Structure 1
Amino acid sequence: MDNETWTDGENGPVPTVAVVGRPNVGKSTLVNRILGRRAAVVQDQPGVTRDRIAYDAEWAGKNFSLVDTGGWEPDADGIGAAIAAQAELAMRTSDVIVFVLDARVGVTAADEQAVRILHRAKKPVILVANKADSEKQEADIAELWSLGLGQPRPLSALHGRGAGDLLDDIVEAFPEEPTGSLKEEGPHRIALVGRPNVGKSSLLNKLAGSARSVVDDAAGTTVDPVDSIVTIDDEDWTLVDTAGIRKRVKFASGAEYYASLRTQAAIESAEVAIVLLDASEPLSEQDQRVISQAVEAGRALVLAFNKWDLVDEDRRYYLEKEIDRELAQVAWAPRVNISALTGRSVQKMAIAARTALEGWTQRITTGELNKWISDLQAATPHPGRSGKIPKVLFASQVGIEPPRFVLFTTGPFDKQYQRFITRRLREDFGFTGSPIDLVIKPREPRESKKGRKR
């Protein structure tokens, strides 16, 4: 897989800033402070952030990608080792590294080992002494000069003290030509998502050939996302088994609130979302909500109808009716009928995931796209307004993952006509398994001679 390039719309790659450090030094609090909103999960226990999670950020007119990472522990094993690998990967693929220490604790052996890796990274490193909530603590951080990473920046991410100065330093460290790189080659990431007790953990265990996740009839057994590398159809995939989503995040509380946030993070860090649905039961509002989450996150999408061994002919008839009625908006997503219990057709999910990934990364040349849109308008023009018919002046595909199109037009386009264009894009080019992002940019009306100021 080619390296992903993080771009600023039509202006090319933006710098990538990785926030790294050992567990519980306040990395996610710092990320939230920079973003100005509560985006990263913050909890007073180590290991809450497990994967690198990228957010769009801006300071002083400069856009950049801010990557939150799991706590770095050099001698970690198990899930800790996976966190460490993600943090080290963020170091290698970032343009600027923000290394966070706890000013109240000082330098630990783990910090010293991290510093040795940072020296080898050959990237700008900004040393942050977080939780420096008083001038006395600021005086104590002078010893951090000995790490050889330059001047330590005192900061209180919780209260915002020193955040503006830190952002100035980050922007100043941006390279002239950012890499925009967020990930390296490796297994494609699939998030297994769905409402509670739909069979996600059973499916993961069947694919892995071992008990990677706890399986219980009680809904909600899985709370945290669990990463597993499994081989499906002779290809390695990274599967993330997530907690079932019961409620919208804003209505959830306690452990369920954090589980919902982590599930959303798992979807956003994946390339493909496989939404498991219980084929033996009617489609629910919860099912619709999970599908919407994946679509809104812009992930490639596969619908897996589990428990097919419990479906008789009568249920199949009604299920087809439900799909036609309630899943029409995602008719483009590949469907697989499986049984996690018996193993029926689970290998076919790899074929569906590959198909969705192809659609997610598909690109049309500018010349081909503009000829196509011209022919489409000639055959089926936009409905007229006051005798005028808005037209596309120029079209461009400005991105992939998911495919994103910008149409420069003579005027606003009706939502219905936008849906018509999207549908025809699918009919003529495919984009199977991927959302399509269509942006209309109407030309600004010229000022009349009467209204122009002299």
Structure 2
Amino acid sequence: PGVTRDRRYGMVDWPGWRFRIVDTGGLDPSAHGILGAMRTQTLRAVEEADVLVLVVDAAEGLTGVDRDVVALLRRSGKPVVLAVNKVDSAQRESALAEVFALGFEDVFAVSAGHGRGMGELLDRVVELLGPTARATSDADADADSVDADSEQADPTGEKSEVVSSGAAADANEDPVTDLALDGEAGDDDDAADADDHADGDDADNDNGHVAGNATDVDTAAAEAAEIKRFRRPEGPIRIAFVGKPNVGKSSLVNRLLGEDRVLVHDMPGTTRDPIDTPFSVGGKDFVLVDTAGLRRRRSVDTLTEAVAGKMARDQLARCDVAVLVIDAAGGATVEDAKIAGMIEESGRGAILILNKKDKVPKSQINSKIDETKEVLSFLSWAPILLTSAVTGAGVAELPIAAARVFEQASRRISTGEVNRFLEGILADKPPPAGPNGRHVRLYFATQAQICPPTFVFSANHPTAVPVSYRRFLSNQIRQAYGFQGTPIRIVLREHRKKRKSAPPERN
């Protein structure tokens, strides 16, 4: 019971119509503590909605809390539809008699698990919405429509809404596209730059300079095409707030929004579902994603917490920028480092937030920053911000930093520029000899992907290039081009010479 806590938004497509629904936590009018905070969130949804759907449990029958909720919803003056859930058998239909005594005109026996009665329920909801429901053709043109399977966006603009509520027992049952490579057909500038590196043959170049010709351009492009590449679809920048429980993720989201959008409580693990909320500032659009706190697997106590943790991890694959929130007073810990490792592995842009700075004496601020840099040294490229969700200090800098990080992660360097860079690097520090004294050569380089920036190097012995030299290449790229806030991927591919086709035989 009580798995749902925050408001979860989604879109429903019903033949010819589209409308927004809101799933809420259990509603107990007399609750306190965490349940009281859940009640506040539910009442906000009631205020926003055009139609209310009250869900009761046929297996348990009407409870005193159900009757209190009925009285509360009636006072709202909005249409109320009563859904008696878990009516899976004729035996449970007998519970309807008790429900009809409440005097509701619209009562539906449903089973969310089996889909029973849902069609009639939705038909009635559309009737009650009337002109506020939008025809599907109109809704499809709405650029900010949200997929009900994946998003929980807040209401924006004039859109019809249905809020689903229940008693505290929670009666509810539970563009990727190709990125064209620099150097491919149509990129005249890059092709010309690549030709500048051609010296006629694929001759080995012992002085460390780039060796190659136009064939290398084709080869490198083909090799780079083997890597998954994408162009991020147009839309808002997705910012996921991740971190340990009770470090202030939800409070930061609420402070940015200027309202209590997500439930905040001093009990660790308050947030369970990832909550998506649109947000605009400075002419830029964002989606703020609040996630459940992450703990070590052996510290997870319940299945609910385990599922919430998995959903939080899944958000890393969907976001553009991951914000790791750390308790500034406690400092960065081993658990923070593990979460940071997940961010680095995901390839997403990253920002480190030292929250609760109001609890740290000014004389200790610099030492906390140094401590964070030491524990999370592998994220040395991520900017660090000091914030206080309580006072609001530093919070306004967050969306600005996120937009800058995303811009850096989306940068592309032309193939010609990358190879000029490589030529300079090889002149100063060519790759060390491989095993058995193998002479390692790098022939060509190209940026194959954005988000994260991925650079492919063509080498005669790619496996012989040590990790330390790959790290050197990454650091040199960052020093030359920035890429602050985003990881850089280095990929070595075997250099393959293009065979010359045999001349046609003469008769």
Give the Cα–Cα distance (whole angstroms) in 2 for the partners of residues 429 and 249 of structure 1. 42
Task: Compute the TM-score of the two structures, normalised by the length of structure 2.
Answer: 0.53
| Alignment equivalent of 2:470, drawn from 411, 418, 427 | 418
The equivalent residue for 1:291 is: 340
Query: Which residue is 1:8 aligned to?
Result: none
Matched, 1:245 2:294: yes
Q: C-alpha displacement at 1:214, in angstroms? A: 1.4
Letter in 2 for 1:426: R
Letter in 1 for 2:307: Y
CA pair 78-217 structure 1, distance change in 2 beyond 3 A: same
- Residue 230 of structure 1 and its aligned partner are, at CA, apart by 2.5
Report the counterpart of residue 445 of structure 2 in structure 1.
395
What secondary structure sits across from 1:267 in the alignment? helix
Which residue of the partner structure matches residue 456 of structure 2?
406
CA displacement 1:172-225 (0-9 Å, x = unmatched)? xxxxxxxx887443x211111111100011111111111111111111101111
Report the equivalent of 2:99: none
Q: Give the deviation of 1:105 after TM superposition.
A: 6.4
Could you tell me which residue of structure 1 aligns to residue 420 of structure 2? 371
Q: Secondary structure at the match of 1:351?
A: helix
- Of residues 433, 440, 443, the one that matches 2:492 is 440
Query: 2:13, 2:469 → 1: CA distance?
Result: 50
Q: Aligned in 2, Cα 1:358/1:369: closer, same or farther, shift over 3 Å?
A: same
Q: Which amino acid aligns with 2:472?
A: F
Determine if contact 2:11/2:19 at 8 Å carries over to the other structure: no
SS at match of 2:421: helix
Residue 346 of structure 1 pairs with residue 432 of structure 2: no
Q: In the alignment, is residue 320 of structure 1 matched against residue 393 of structure 2?
A: no
Check whether the contact 2:13–2:136 (CA below 8 A) recurs between aligned residues: no
More moved, 250-259 vs 188-197: 250-259
Residues 309 and 339 in structure 1, CA contact (< 8 A), matched pair in contact too: yes
User: Aligned residue for 2:31?
Assistant: none
Does the 8 Å contact 2:12/2:20 carry over to 1?
A: no
Please tell me whether residue 302 in structure 1 is matched to residue 302 in structure 2: no
Q: 1:324/1:270 Cα in 2 relative to 1: closer, same or farther (>3 Å)?
A: closer
What is the one-letter code of the residue matched to 2:470?
A: Q
Report the secondary structure of 1:198's partner residue.
coil
Q: Quick check: 1:427 aligned with 2:479?
A: yes
What are the Cα deviations for residues 395-432 of structure 1, in whole angstroms up to 9, with x where unaligned?
11111011111111011210110011001111111011
Q: Does 1:266 align with 2:315?
A: yes
Structure 1 contact 280–307 (Cα < 8 Å) conserved: yes
* Aligned positions of 1:120-269 closer than 5 A: 183-185=233-235, 187-233=236-282, 235-248=284-297, 253-269=302-318
Structure with the greater relative contact order (CA < 8 A, sep ≥ 6): 1 or 2? 2
Distance 1:375 1:181 in 2: 29
SS in 2 for 1:407: strand
Q: Counterpart amino acid of 1:422?
A: S
- Give distance in 2, aligned partners of 1:239 and 1:107: 32
Counterpart residue number, 1:39: none
Question: Quick one: distance in 2 between partners of 1:325 and 1:302?
Answer: 16
Residues 377 and 391 in structure 1, CA contact (< 8 A), matched pair in contact too: no
Cα distance 1:283–1:410, how it changes in 2: closer, same or farther (>3 A)? same
- The residue type equivalent to 1:277 in the other structure is I
| C-alpha deviation, 1:315, in angstroms | 2.6
Distance 1:303 1:284, change over 3 A: same
* Residue aligned with 1:439, SS: strand
Q: Structure 1 residues 347 and 317 mapped into 2: Cα distance closer, same or farther (>3 Å)?
A: closer
* 1:107 to partner: Cα distance: 9.9
* Amino acid in structure 2 at the alignment position of 1:77: I
Residues 233 and 350 of structure 1 are in contact (CA less than 8 Å); yes or no, is this contact kept in structure 2?
Answer: no
Q: Equivalents in 2 of 1:332, 1:270: separation in Å?
A: 18
Cα distance, 1:297 vs structure 2: 1.4
Q: Which runs of 5+ in 1 are unaligned?
A: 1-44, 52-68, 82-101, 122-179, 447-454
> Residue 19 of structure 2 aligns to a residue in which SS?
coil
Determine which of 326, 351, 375 is the counterpart of 1:277. Answer: 326
CA distance in 1, matches of 2:117, 2:442: 60
SS in structure 2 opposite 1:77? strand
Alignment map for 1:3-14 (pairs within 5 Å)? none
Tell me the distance in 1 between the aligned counterparts of 2:247 and 2:352: 13
* 1:392–1:407 CA contact under 8 A, matched in 2: yes
Q: Distance in 2 between matches of 1:354 and 1:210?
A: 22
| 1:38-89 alpha-carbon deviations (Å, 9 max, x no partner) | xxxxxxx99xxx89xxxxxxxxxxxxxxxxx9875633323699xxxxxxxx
Q: Is the 8 A contact 1:207 1:231 kept in 2?
A: no
Whole-angstrom distance in 2 between the partners of 1:315 and 1:261:
35
CA distance in 2 between counterparts of 1:220 and 1:384 reads: 52
Q: CA deviation at 1:234?
A: 5.3
Query: 2:302 & 2:475 partners in 1: Cα distance?
Result: 39
Percent identity of paired positions between Structure 1 and Structure 2? 32
Matches within 5 A, 1:70-81: 74-78=18-22
Q: Which has the larger radius of gyration?
A: 2
CA 265–72 in structure 1, closer or farther in 2 if over 3 Å, else same: farther
Picking from 342, 349, 355, the partner of 2:404 is: 355
Question: Any idea what SS the aligned residue of 1:75 has?
Answer: strand
Structure 1 residues 433 and 382, CA, compared in 2 at 3 Å: closer, same or farther? same
Q: Is contact 1:275-1:302 (8 Å) kept?
A: yes
> Quick one: which amino acid aligns to residue 352 of structure 1?
A
Q: Distance in 2 between matches of 1:262 and 1:362?
A: 29
In 1, Cα distance between equivalents of 2:458 and 2:415? 13
The 1:267–1:71 alpha-carbon spacing in structure 2 relative to 1, beyond 3 Å, is farther
Instruction: Give the TM-score of the pair, scaled to structure 1.
Output: 0.59
